Amino acid sequence: MAWERFKKLLEEEKVRLEKELSQIARKNPENPEDWEVKAPEMNPMVSDQSELADMFEELETQAGLEYQLEERLKKVNAALKRIEDGSYGVCSVCSEKIDEKRLEANPLAKNCIEHTEQ
Nearer to Zn ion, 21 or 98 (CB): 98
Residues 27-66 that bind Zn ion (CB under 5 A): none
Nearer to Zn ion, 81 or 115 (CB): 115
Q: How far apart are CA 55 and CA 4, in angstroms?
A: 44
Neighbours of 103 (CB within 10 A): 21
Nearer to Zn ion, 17 or 112 (CB): 112
**Smallest gap from residue 93 Cβ to Zn ion (A):** 4
Residues in the chain: 118
Which one among 94, 97, 99, 104 touches Zn ion, defined by CB under 5 A?
94
Q: How far apart are the first and last CA of the chain?
A: 27
Which one among 17, 37, 80, 112 touches Zn ion, defined by CB under 5 A?
112
**Smallest gap from residue 96 Cβ to Zn ion (A):** 5
Q: Closest by alpha carbon to 17, among 80, 59, 60?
A: 80
- What's the longest Cα–Cα distance across the chain? 61
Which residues are near Zn ion by CB under 5 A? 91, 93-94, 112, 115
